[in-house]
Amino acid sequence: MGMRIPEFIGRALIGAGRFVGRLRRALLQLVFGRPPASIIAYHGVGSTQVARLAARVIDDDGVTDPHPDDSAWTNARRMFRAFDARRVSGARLTVRCAGVCASTTVDDRGFARVELRQPLAVFPAEGAEAEWTLIDPLPETPEGLPDPQPPSARAPVHIPRATARFALVSDVDDTVIESRATSALRLAYETLSRNVYRRSVMPGMAAFYRTLTAHNHAPMVWLTSSIWRVHDLLRGFFALHGFPEGALLMSDARLLRSQWIADRHRTHKLGRLDDMRALWRLPMVLSGDCGQRDPEIFAAFAQQAPALVRAIYLRDLGDATRRAEVDRLMAPIQGGGIPVCVASDAVAFARHAQQHGLIPAGEVSGIARAAEEAAEAGGE
């Protein structure tokens, strides 16, 4: 399904990219000195007793925010700088959440992952936030000037309310973003040339997700095999189009190398679903597309934990052969009592959700209007 980058070409591109990146950083450091370190704080997930937090420390390379009028070349240069950002290995951080504090050292790729635990229920289901502070290396200060404040960053921690009926777990590419991720070259082009203002959204999906989460007090989780370096791009896209805020569970695989790692999607996504099952013990509504491995992954998870799958939604990408495969795969899942909807648009998903008690009947018309308006405008 879709064209894959041959391994020898991918490895050559990786090597060339690394050489250009190292040369560029060496020249910039020679002229301007090493840039200060900055923290990227990722949304955390947790329960009232456990908070799982993550952050990354990289050189602040002056990556600017996207603009609606940016050209493909301007966006490609920005994305290259984001992908080329140098991690600060060995950096030390502190993190504080709801009065609980810990310190940690980042790994060789600049990532810090911390699990805060308390025997008592101290992490609030509403308003929990993690604050990361860099304690080493501290910014260099010219002689005679006061020491600056150490870099810090904040991010919310998503903890389900006691009234949550389920968690909404959604794929990203070709589920809510039109990316044609079944083609490696197409996905690379979309990522490098289009910013958040130029990516196409699936009409009505934001309204459908808002309705699902609001009426069921459902936490939102974005489950994608995309790599962490596109984290800010996805966050900006979700905010721009009004999707519910939620945790992003992304892949640690490098960009092109991941194209030939067998079963990368399955291993990553099933592992994260198992993590969420153990952490939250909530049923899940799973939303994905027919293009990659989502149907196989969702079916495997439903077979492992049928009581924890409330419903499955799969976007049909128009491939009749693949649709027949998915229908055959989902038949025993539906036969086991799990509602499944394979459709090409959000309105069909909304009608199915209404029929199975996931959203009120009166909300379907509002989702249909939102989808129609989005289709007319070319995006939601």
**What is the mean pLDDT of the segment spanning 172-194?**
63
Report the first-to-last Cα separation within the chain, whole angstroms: 28
**E-state strands within 176-252:** 177-178, 200-201, 220-227, 247-251
Residues 258, 144 share a domain: no
Rounded Cα gap, residues 297 and 288, in angstroms: 10
Tens of pLDDT, residue by residue over 94-135, are 999 998 999 999 998 889 999 999 877 788 887 789 999 999
The arithmetic mean of pLDDT across residues 267-272, rounded, is: 90
DSSP-derived pairing of the beta strands 309-315 and 340-343: parallel
Segment 313-331 shows an average pLDDT of: 96
pLDDT for 23 equals 59
In a domain, 339, yes or no: yes
* Per-residue pLDDT, 344: 94
- Average pLDDT score over residue span 301-309: 96
pLDDT given for residue 147 in this prediction: 59
- Cβ(89)–Cβ(43) below 8 Å: no
β-strand pairing of 129-136 with 309-315: unpaired
For residue 257, what are its two tokens?
Answer: 């190398």
Gap between the Cα atoms of 132 and 184, Å rounded: 35
The CATH number of the domain where 178 resides is what?
3.40.50.1000
Does residue 372 sit in the same domain as residue 235? Answer: yes
Cα–Cα distance, 252 to 147 (Å, whole number): 35
Per-residue pLDDT, 297: 96
Q: Please give the residue that has the higher pLDDT: either 185 or 51.
A: 51
**Can you give the pLDDT at residue 307?**
95
Tokens found for residue 123: 């992490």
Instruction: Please check the confidence at residue 11 and state whether its pLDDT lies above 90.
Output: no
Domain hosting residue 234, numbered range? 167-377
pLDDT of residue 255: 44
Local confidence band at 173 (pLDDT 50, 70, 90 cut-offs): confident
- Read off φ and ψ for residue 162, nearest 5 degrees: -65, -20
pLDDT band at 251 (very low <50, low <70, confident <90, very high): confident
Distance CA(97)–CA(122), nearest Å, equals 10
Sequence-distant (≥ 6) Cβ neighbours of residue 362 within 8 angstroms: none
Same domain, residue pair 339 and 227: yes
Question: Regarding predicted confidence, which is higher, 178 or 353?
Answer: 353
Cα 243 to chain centroid, rounded = 12
Last residue of a domain, one of 140, 158, 176: 158
H/E element holding 329? helix 320-335
